Amino acid sequence: MAEPPDQKQAAEGTAKGGEQTLYSGHFTFSGQLQPKGHGCKTVRIMLDSGATSNFISQWFVETYNVPLKKKARPILLSVIDSTPISTKVITHQMVACDLMLGSANEHRETLTLDTIPMATYDIILGMPWLNMHTP
């Protein structure tokens, strides 16, 4: 998988080949993402119980020409104490895509992901995903 230059060092130690690891205190793993009309792409995923949504990196979307749709209402992007992150708002989400997890991609689900700028991971799975799966 192609990576922007600032991701190469951060990617060291993240999950590869279905492995699950703790990297910088974050639970990370890899999976396969298949946007509608596109082939499967390997993605680096972080579980984040503090995230109020599920996210995909703007870099990934732009690099692989992933189809987006405009959100009905923009959402202010903020940190844990609700402090806004600069002037960033979430204005787009990825159209429904398939996410496959497990060493043999035995878990498959369809989901939408909000697009945000981030460098270290391709996908963040937050509380909506965690609530659905209650790990």
Task: Express each pLDDT in 40-74 by its tens digit.
Answer: 999 999 998 888 889 999 999 999 888 899 988 88
Full-model pTM: 0.75
Phi-psi region of 102 (alpha: psi -120 to 50; beta: other; left: phi over 0): left
Output the pLDDT for position 7: 42
User: Rounded distance, CA 2 to CA 64, Å?
Assistant: 10
Q: Does residue 92 form part of some domain?
A: yes
Q: Please say if the pLDDT value at position 109 is more than 60.
A: yes
- Beta carbons of 44 and 20 less than 8 angstroms apart: no
- Which amino acid does the sequence have at 65? N
Q: Does residue 118 form part of some domain?
A: yes
What total number of domains does the chain contain? 1
Output the pLDDT for position 70: 93
Q: Does residue 7 form part of some domain?
A: no
Provide mean pLDDT across the span 101-118: 87
Domain that holds residue 99: 20-133
The CATH number linked to 57 is 2.40.70.10
